[in-house]
Structure 1
Amino acid sequence: MGVGRFCVQRRRRTGTITIAAASVLGLVATLGGCGLTGGSGEVTLKLVAADYGDSAANSSQKYWDKLVEAYEEEHAGVHVDVTVYSWNDVDAKVKEMVDAGNPPDMAQIGAYADYAAKDLLYEADDLLSIPVQADLVAQLADAGQVNGVQYGIPFASSTRLLFYNKTLFQKAGLNAPTTWQELAADAEALKADGVKYPYALPLGAEEAQAETMQWLLSGGGGYTDAELGTYSIDSTENVATFNWLKNNLVGKGLTGPVTPGRLNRAEAFSAFAAGDVGMLNGHPSLMQMAAKKGVKFGMVPMPGREGPTKVSMGVADWMTAFKQNGHAEQVGDFLDFVYDKENVLDFSREYDLLPVTNSASTVMSGAPQDADLKPFLEQLALSELYPVGRTSWAAVSAGVKKRIGGAVASGGSPSAILGQLQATASRAESAE
């Protein structure tokens, strides 16, 4: 049990000093001793977090440094040591620490179910105050549960919309599509105009599970059966969706020069920002990326068979807290601070992400400065998230990344590939 577990009394705030307020008041905390444990009344919390920035100028390390400075100013005896890693490394780094028997107090990562299954994590009830728990977007909080108990605390969220290049669409005399048939027709017209990627379909290893889920949902299916709670990857609806993709987009040369199974999301986004893509599914960060390159774009809900998709794909990243060091009180108090409305707003605005609290979402929905994120906020209420509460999801996601591109490849069989993925899911479920 960590030093000072019972020495530092958890103090409930009547008014949180947010980053902005701390700046106004001129409060400066000395961080030189951060990471060191002092006397018997001092506790150092270690947090490993992911980097949402795209350069050193907006690294998440800067966000956390400011937040910790403000927190430590009003919490004498509690230090927070934050280490930020790229998304390519952070999950693996945390796993290494856990496997070595030295987990951080907190980890802000992409998954939580495996750690919860091994009884390594605190429940959210052990950490967060009731007002903070109540403020979490219910849909996201529910996705953080394993067997009805919440272990994953949503930290950031996002949804997908169909982005289209307004300049290319105007040149071809097109309107944004609302159905699959219109999307295919638009892609045909864009191809005739010489557009490199009429519809960019990134089914490469980087994020194939996301593009796949968006298309499954638009076809009335998904990874799981909502009523039965079981995997339904090879359902009739899902097979029909991938048959349509193979025959009406990929087979007709409407997805560009790179085979979908080899096209990664980052490459597709870069191509869109370069003006080479007519349409693709994108999340909020693509707005800034495209705007920087001068690309004029529009955004609409993903087209479906008969009209706009009624269910969008939602994604959440997770804050977790490991039990080993025994700092539940201090961790809980720090997380209450992290989830303060102004701090959530600061983070969401810095990285073009959707807030995970109702209070911050309400502000963003009505603030002119956040108008570009409003369509994504509206989709969040209609979204479905990955089945991250299942320890089997890691194996299923890996399988999708490896195999799904073959479903739309020349000579590929959607029913066979989806059947293989269903078998992978069944085996992973049996191993839980």
Structure 2
Amino acid sequence: MRRRRFLLQTTGLSGAGALAMSGCGSDGDSGGDATTLDVLLAGYDGTVGTSIEKRWNAAVRAFQKKHPAIRVKVERVPFLKLDATLARRVKDGRAPDISEGNFFAPYAEEGRLYSADQLFAVPVQANFIGSFADAGKIDTIQYGIPTQASAPRLFYNTALFQQAGLTRAPASWAELRSCAQALRRIGVATPYALTFGPEAAEDELLAWLLAGDGGYASLSGYDFAATENVATLTWLRDKLVVPGLAGADPARLTRTQAYAQFLQGRAGMLLAHPVLLSAAGRAGVKYATAPFPKRDGDGAAPPVGLNDWLMAFKANGRLSAAKTFLTFLFTSPAARTYGSDTGTLPATVSDSEELEEDSAQRALWPFVHQLPDAEFHPVGLRSWSTVRGAVRRGIGRAVAPGGSPSDVLQALDRVGAGA
């Protein structure tokens, strides 16, 4: 997962320093002096992620204006270091009150997190989009609080399609391959950008597995080596990678590189998030989006759901302040941290409905429509962070010429069983 990871990696974002914001007042959990909430968030350095920082800054300012008795101290760290920073702070006994991150399951299983029903009134908790709320649960209890959601779609360069004599987006894998062949004939270097490199391969992989009627796990646990998954990777190897229709080396192609190729007109198709919308507009690329096709063309594939998780830690005992802050984030229009400028989507029903009525956000509407049907990585499994690393390091070998999808997928199952 994660949504802001792709923002970071798409644009080569680097580190940002710490940012502290504080209000004034004299009441809070501590009784006398103002309560201070320690909040750990991702930092971005002067690129597309800057708009996310601005939205968060505005949300904190609006909160402190309404709740002067609660100071909010925001620490920003580079997104790629966020999970490691959080883990180190928890281990050292310095857990923040609220943190953003990719993983919540280990902390929930260790009893470190407040549950959503402790943090929100019933109407607020019920307002989260069902698929995202369910993904945040451990044993039916929600601990992960989804924010800034995404569900990628197939982007395609309409100018290149027209030049290649193509009139519409592919509706099956056979049509996708046919489109890729046509793009190759007019000299497109990467007809379909298969991002199996060590950046976000788990997102690309899940999209293809879902489209092939497979997935990462069954009711009994990880099930990478399912027959459907082996068939999907075999098709990718034989129909896209070996014929050179998926870039020079999909095992090394990162999302950052794929997005750059698309913006430069060197990639014809790719799976991408709404952050690419504004970037393509600025680059003058003519494009359209479509649902990712199922293998045999019988409709759209289930979309991959991605988001950032917010977690509220018990360590400092600031439940009341955390409840007040998080409720404000998900109920006040002044606290919205999503939109076309950030390329992110709301994780609540009411905000999604409002966004779909805003013509200024029209480009996001097809992405919003997908959110209720989104399917997720197995983020509720404590071992997912380890398995995700194995996917990133090894999945490219499955589709390389001479590679064995079955062997690679069985190896991933073993990683999951041993993690």
Global fold match (TM > 0.5): yes
For residues 212-234 of structure 1, the C-alpha deviation after alignment (integer angstroms, 9 at most, x for no partner) is 00000010100012xx2522110
1:76 equivalent among 45, 68, 73: 68
Q: Counterparts of 1:133 and 1:32 in 2: how far apart (Å)?
A: 27
User: Match for residue 90 of structure 1?
Assistant: 82
Answering whether residue 263 of structure 2 is matched by residue 270 of structure 1, we say no
User: Match for residue 32 of structure 2?
Assistant: 40
Residues 52 and 142 (structure 1), Cα distance of their counterparts in 2 relative to 1, 3 Å cut = farther
1:168 equivalent among 160, 168, 189: 160
Residue 130 of structure 1 deviates from its aligned partner by 2.0
Q: Counterparts of 1:100 and 1:59 in 2: how far apart (Å)?
A: 32
Q: Counterparts of 2:382 and 2:334 in 1: how far apart (Å)?
A: 31
Task: Indicate the percent of aligned positions where both proteins have the same amino acid.
Answer: 39
Answering whether residue 93 of structure 2 is matched by residue 121 of structure 1, we say no
1:140 equivalent among 132, 142, 147: 132
Opposite residue 410 of structure 1, the aligned amino acid is: P
Secondary structure of 1:246's partner? helix
Residue 347 of structure 1 deviates from its aligned partner by 2.8
Q: Counterparts of 2:188 and 2:141 in 1: how far apart (Å)?
A: 49
Q: Counterparts of 1:253 and 1:56 in 2: how far apart (Å)?
A: 32
1:261-410 matched pairs, under 5 angstroms: 261-307=251-297, 308-343=299-334, 345-410=336-401
Residues 344 and 211 (structure 1), Cα distance of their counterparts in 2 relative to 1, 3 Å cut = farther
Residue 396 of structure 1 deviates from its aligned partner by 1.3
Q: Counterparts of 1:359 and 1:33 in 2: how far apart (Å)?
A: 31
1:186 equivalent among 163, 179, 195: 179
Q: Indicate conservation of the 8 Å contact 2:148/2:337, yes or no.
A: no
Q: Counterparts of 1:231 and 1:100 in 2: how far apart (Å)?
A: 32
Secondary structure of 2:117's partner? helix
Residues 196 and 376 (structure 1), Cα distance of their counterparts in 2 relative to 1, 3 Å cut = same
Q: Counterparts of 1:79 and 1:285 in 2: how far apart (Å)?
A: 31
Secondary structure of 1:183's partner? helix
User: Match for residue 11 of structure 1?
Assistant: none
User: Match for residue 202 of structure 1?
Assistant: 195
1:47-66 matched pairs, under 5 angstroms: 47-51=39-43, 55=47, 58-66=50-58
User: Match for residue 16 of structure 2?
Assistant: none
Q: Counterparts of 2:352 and 2:115 in 1: how far apart (Å)?
A: 24
RMSD, aligned CA? 2.0
Residue 60 of structure 1 deviates from its aligned partner by 3.5
Q: Indicate conservation of the 8 Å contact 1:215/1:241, yes or no.
A: yes
Q: Counterparts of 1:54 and 1:112 in 2: how far apart (Å)?
A: 28
For residues 150-201 of structure 1, the C-alpha deviation after alignment (integer angstroms, 9 at most, x for no partner) is 1111112101111100000000111210000010011111111100101110
Q: Look at both structures and tell me which one has the larger radius of gyration over its CA atoms.
A: 1
1:230-245 matched pairs, under 5 angstroms: 230-245=221-236
Residues 90 and 57 (structure 1), Cα distance of their counterparts in 2 relative to 1, 3 Å cut = closer
Opposite residue 414 of structure 2, the aligned amino acid is: A
Q: Indicate conservation of the 8 Å contact 1:344/1:360, yes or no.
A: no
Residue 53 of structure 1 deviates from its aligned partner by 7.6
Secondary structure of 1:303's partner? coil
Q: Counterparts of 1:266 and 1:391 in 2: how far apart (Å)?
A: 28
Opposite residue 249 of structure 1, the aligned amino acid is: L
User: Match for residue 6 of structure 2?
Assistant: none
Residue 378 of structure 1 deviates from its aligned partner by 1.4
Opposite residue 179 of structure 1, the aligned amino acid is: S
Secondary structure of 1:404's partner? helix
TM-score normalised to structure 1 length: 0.87
Residues 418 and 57 (structure 1), Cα distance of their counterparts in 2 relative to 1, 3 Å cut = closer
TM-score normalised to structure 2 length: 0.90
Opposite residue 69 of structure 1, the aligned amino acid is: R
Q: Name the count of aligned residue pairs.
A: 394
Specify every segment of 5 or more residues in structure 1 that has no aligned partner in the other structure, as ranges.
1-29
Secondary structure of 2:79's partner? coil
Q: Indicate conservation of the 8 Å contact 2:127/2:348, yes or no.
A: yes
Q: Indicate conservation of the 8 Å contact 2:340/2:364, yes or no.
A: no
Residues 33 and 341 (structure 1), Cα distance of their counterparts in 2 relative to 1, 3 Å cut = closer
Specify every segment of 5 or more residues in structure 2 that has no aligned partner in the other structure, as ranges.
1-20
Q: Indicate conservation of the 8 Å contact 2:23/2:69, yes or no.
A: no
User: Match for residue 260 of structure 1?
Assistant: 250
